[in-house]
């Protein structure tokens, strides 16, 4: 399955089981794609907590950066080829789809 959503600005509560119960039947082979303004800003304890929280979800989170990301911080992450494109694994199952 592929689910697509808009900007999260670092607020991932829409992916709680109460709001998104469909995830109960998902696996890491299912994708949630966030289209812009994901929420990579400062590598704070709070930000690291939420990235780990997303990583522990049953699905894989993919995101395209938006104009409110910290591009210097993103640039410091290593990139690799994945399914024919360049990506950055922010966590094992939180993946930045590079432009």
pLDDT, residue 44, reads 96
Q: What is the largest CA-CA distance in the chain?
A: 36
Q: What proportion of the chain, given as a percentage, has pLDDT over 70?
A: 100
What tens digit of pLDDT does each residue of 52-91 get?
999 999 999 999 999 999 999 999 999 999 999 999 999 9
Give the pLDDT confidence score for residue 36 in this predicted structure.
94
- How confident is the model at residue 11, as a pLDDT? 95
Task: Tell me which H or E stretch contains 75.
Answer: helix 71-75
The pairs formed by 48-53 with CB atoms below 8 angstroms and a separation of 24 or more are 50/10, 50/12, 51/90, 51/91, 51/94, 52/91, 53/12
Which pLDDT score, from 0 to 100, does residue 72 have? 96
């Amino acid at each position: 399955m592929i689910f697509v959503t808009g900007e999260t600005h670092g607020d991932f509560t829409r992916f709680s089981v109460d709001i998104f119960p469909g995830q109960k039947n998902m696996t890491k082979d299912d994708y949630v794609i966030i289209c812009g303004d994901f929420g990579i800003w400062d590598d704070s304890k709070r930000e690291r907590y939420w990235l780990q929280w997303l990583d522990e979800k049953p699905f894989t989170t993919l995101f395209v950066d938006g104009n409110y990301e910290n591009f210097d911080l993103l640039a410091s992450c290593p990139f690799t080829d994945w399914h024919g494109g360049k990506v950055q694994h922010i966590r094992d199952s939180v993946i930045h789809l590079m432009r």
